[in-house]
Amino acid sequence: MDILFSLTLFFLSLLLTPQSIKSETQEIKSPRILDLVIRDYTFRSYNTNFTKTGKLNSIDLPPNLSGINVDTIKLRCGSLQRYGAKIKEFDLSSGVNVYPCIERVIIVRQNLGSKYSSIYYDSYQLSGYHLISPVLGLLAYNAGTKNFSAIQIKAGKKAIAVDFSGTNLINTKSGVIPLCASFDDDGKVVLSNQTRPNVCVATRDGHFGLVARSPLLALRGNVVSKWKIAIVSSIGGALGACLLSLLLIAMFVNAKKKARMDELERRAYEEEALQVSMVGHVRAVTASVHMHIKRNPLDEIPLSESKVATWLMDEFVLKDQLLTDFTVNG
């Protein structure tokens, strides 16, 4: 029975060798998964190699993670909050806050290089911008537990400085000022101005990079997402269709008026009983107007409401009779 148990442990250890982890990391396309893989290698190094507090150590990663540079340091939480720390590109001033503040903290600094920095470009809304620096990461974990729980580092009165001067920056066109990009855990990216050339500031731990406007979209003031472009295009198309419809209606009305005028002129030339006059260079149909005016003295208009109604009815009867006589007799 003891032999069977020993063989089981042996085969399990073979399954959990670094070679198996390497195969799992070959297709990393998520920033979150990449952080977890780097965290696991970091804690494995502490279990086997690193013991001292306050010493910066480099983490060895497998070949399929080549291009990523990771350093780690173990600090006392109280000392970190009281004195701060300088960890490669990150400058944590005194007064930083650690949540929760356990006895010792493991801080992991990442430089993801060009290959794995592209994961952040693909995972975040950076339309119209491109990365000109590797993505730098600053993460913290609880050093006193075996579950590798993450903890937060937040800036105190002075922000956390991130200096990209020592990284491999991609050359940009003269006059283009890079922007600082902060990649949040909720999938959003926040852009801000540099405090000085190639230096950004942050309010908490996370991942950061420098971006510049893409050449084809350099004149745009903001990052425009695809759904906004679709909405603007739809509205523009609808307005264009409305203007085209109004133009067609106006052309139809003008054509109808012209056809009517042509018909009147045709009838005039055929000597129909229409009176025609020249208005400028156009022959226009004219007509005479007959008016009949009758004046009623005020003393002939009844004052009572009933008599006024009868008087009005009589007047309308006389008016209708007058129109009938004019139509018949001229």
List, for residues 63-112, the tens digit of each pLDDT value.
888 889 999 999 999 999 999 999 999 999 999 999 998 888 999 999 99
Residue 12, pLDDT > 50, answer no
- Containing structural domain, residue 143: 15-223
To which H or E segment does residue 43 belong? helix 31-48
Sorting pLDDT into bands at 50, 70 and 90, what band is 234? confident
Residue 174 lies in a domain: yes
By percentage, how much of the chain surpasses pLDDT 90? 31
For the chain, what is the radius of gyration of the CA atoms? Answer: 44
Give me the pLDDT at residue 257, please. 87
CATH, residue 92: 2.60.220
Longest dimension (CA), the chain: 136
Q: What's the CA gap between 58 and 49, in Å, rounded? A: 11
Residue 5 lies in a domain: no
Let me know whether 56 and 182 are in one domain. yes
Tell me, yes or no, whether 283 lies in a domain: no
Number of compact structural domains in the chain: 3
DSSP string, 121-132: HHHS--TTEEE-
Clarify whether residues 80 and 104 are in a common domain: yes
User: Which residue has 């852009």 as its token pair?
Assistant: 191
Q: Are residues 206 and 307 in the same domain?
A: no
Residue 280 is classified by DSSP as: T
Note whether 138 and 205 are within 8 A (CB): yes
pLDDT in tens, 189-233: 999 999 999 999 999 999 999 999 876 433 333 445 566 777 888
Average pLDDT over the chain, rounded to an integer: 80
Is 297 in the same domain as 194? no
Query: Does 146 map to a domain?
Result: yes
Quick one: 42 and 187 in the same domain? yes
Q: Residue 146 corresponds to which tokens in the numbers above?
A: 């075996």
pLDDT number for residue 269: 61
Residue 147 CA, distance from chain mean position: 37
Quickly tell me which residue has 């003269």 as its tokens: 174
* 108 within 8 A of 39, measured Cβ to Cβ: yes
| Same structural domain, 187 and 74 | yes
Same domain, residue pair 65 and 161? yes
- From the list 10, 13, 35, the residue with the least C-alpha distance to 25 is 35
- What are the pLDDT digits (tens) for 248-279? 999 989 888 888 888 777 766 655 555 666 66
**Is residue 64, in this structure, part of any structural domain at all?**
yes
Q: Is residue 307 part of a domain?
A: yes
Verify that 19 and 161 share a domain, yes or no.
Answer: yes
* CA 286/CA 123 separation, integer angstroms: 77
* 168 shares its domain with 114: yes
Are residues 232 and 219 part of one domain? Answer: no
Backbone angles phi, psi at 131, to 5 degrees: -75, 135
User: Do residue 216 and residue 312 come from a single domain?
Assistant: no
Q: At what angle do helices 113-123 and 31-48 cross, to 10 degrees?
A: 140
Task: Kindly report, residue by residue over 115-173, the tens digit of the pLDDT.
Answer: 899 888 888 877 888 889 999 999 999 887 666 789 999 998 899 999 998 888 876 66
10 is a domain residue: no
